[in-house]
Amino acid sequence: MTADPTTRNTAVGRPVVETAHGPVRGVDDGTVQAWKAIRYAAAPVGDLRWRAPQPPQPWSEPADAGRVGPVCPQPTDPRIPIDLGAPQGEDFLSLNVWAPSGTRAGDAKPVMVWVHGGAYILGAASQPLYHGAALAAGGDVVVVTVNYRLGALGFLELVTLGADPERFATNVGLRDVVAALQWVRDNIAGFGGDPDRVTLFGESAGGGVVTALLGSPAAAGLFHAAIAQSSPATSSYDTGRARRVATRFLDVLGIGSGELDRLAALPIATIVAASRTVFDEVPVNTPGTLAFAPIVDGDFLPDYPVALARQGRTHPVPLIIGTNKNEAALFRYMKSPLMPVTPESVRAMFAEIAAEQPTVRLPSASDLDGTYRGRKKVRGMGVSSDLGFRMPSIWFADGHRAVAPVYLYRFDFATPVLRLMRLHAAHATELPYVWGNLVAGRKDPTFALGGRKAGQAVSERLRTRWVNFAAHGTPTGGAGDPEWHPYDAERRPTLVIDKEDSVVDDLDAEVRRAWGDDVLSFR
């Protein structure tokens, strides 16, 4: 059902939009209009906890959409001090919309739909980092941020243990994002957006959602361009690995595979605690892997995303894809086992891959020595960054460019503080620049030693390219910015985003020679 695309103001600064499920009343501060915590699906409680997303109950009176709503229940980690922007709660399948003030129904502005990261277990659409005012108003676009099920709620595959697939659907977190995209298709015109110009973009696990949905038949036609920032594109697993995780999850709860009916009634805190236990165990036991991630179920996700791209089976939409220069530095700083960075953990990761995939060609010691020069720990971080993020992005780009234009980038910019902390352009450091939210609060140290002026310029250039891509399908820059050509087999041009941007041909030649063209699917 498509909503009647009308917007009406019942009071100054409180725009009301009719949606397919009922009217919502937002706020207008003179720069942007915002509607927050709009339900796109029913609360996943009780029998709906692991079902595919269901429509919310319709309403007739304008729902207050002036503030963010609950976020997906999740564990807290002192090493990752995320400001979720809202309390946790079970009625969290909602989204937030920003549009420039003055936008009206039928304006048909480009739409950018954001999927947050967090290793498929953390994060929220309401994080202050993802406040959409600067991106929407500065780029004259409509911005949507989406909550989806995380951890065991979104990626626990109980079907692998014989569960009823209706009550325990596969890839529930991905299905939530598809439901949100369907909501955008049916309703965004009323907020001034163009349902035929939707760009799906995300970072880290959110980037993994993007590359997965590029190969999912269920997402066909729901977005028309895509941006995958630091996508762990090869961190999708088979049903055997998913079965082992599900078995362990039930062991932690003390529930047998024949007692799955008990799960719907368990307190959410119990589910979250078990999620945390399994999430922490898996990368210790199998380095370089996640407990909760998309799986190849043969239906919603018919094959591994990189394999689908290399088979020419991804949706033919333009794609920006890339990574940060020093991805693994964040995981070293946090002392997180999610990415192995020590020589011992890297060797363990290679042994695990070799045991599971004996036909895959792994780099030899001489390959690694030639490519990752320097101290052993630095080499370990380089190997992890390239295995976890850089090479999967290149493999995906090499496949997807056969069906649509692909633009490859690397984010290199780092402030003096980040360089002093040895983080440099670590994982997720590009996010403030994408969103134009460069300072997260009075205690944000990012620019304590300078670099603010350069950072603002980086943000302006990056947002210009992202917005132009959403509007026209090509990531053109401003006057004087280098021309960014599509990725091809001859030149392999890569945009390097730094204090001054540049386009470098075959930036990754040495790394590609070390890793070759074999795709590590993590089967």
Q: Would residue 427 show up in a list of annotated catalytic residues for this protein? A: yes
Q: Would residue 101 show up in a list of annotated catalytic residues for this protein? A: no
The residue annotated as part of the active site, out of 18, 203, 327, 430, is: 327
Helices (H), 322-430: 329-333, 343-356, 365-371, 376-385, 391-400, 416-420
Q: From the CB of residue 478, how many other CB atoms can be counted at a distance below 10 Å?
A: 10
The gap from C-alpha 38 to its chain's centroid, in whole angstroms, comes to 20
Q: Cβ(118)–Cβ(126) under 8 Å?
A: no
Q: From the CB of residue 358, how many other CB atoms can be counted at a distance below 10 Å?
A: 7
Looking at the DSSP bridge assignments, the partners of residue 115 are 146, 202
Rounded to the nearest 10 degrees, how much is the dihedral formed by the CA atoms of 161, 163, 167, 172? 20
DSSP letter for each residue of 118-179? STTTS--TT-GGG--HHHHHHHT-EEEEE----HHHHH--GGGGT--TTTS-SSHHHHHHHH
Helix (H, G, I), strand (E, B) or coil at 53: coil
Residue 428 Ramachandran class (φ > 0 left, ψ -120 to 50 alpha, else beta): left
The residue annotated as part of the active site, out of 126, 231, 427, 430, is: 427
DSSP letter for each residue of 439-484? --STT--TTTTS-HHHHHHHHHHHHHHHHHHHHHSS----TTPPP-
The residue annotated as part of the active site, out of 94, 126, 204, 459, is: 204
Task: Compute the half-sphere exposure of residue 133: CA atoms within 13 Å on the CB side of its CA.
Answer: 14
Helix (H, G, I), strand (E, B) or coil at 104: coil
Cβ contacts of 258 within 8 Å, gap of 6 or more: none
The gap from C-alpha 245 to its chain's centroid, in whole angstroms, comes to 22
The gap from C-alpha 9 to its chain's centroid, in whole angstroms, comes to 34
d(CA 46, CA 55) in angstroms, rounded, equals: 15
What is the token pair recorded at 308? 């689908």
Active site residues: 204, 327, 427
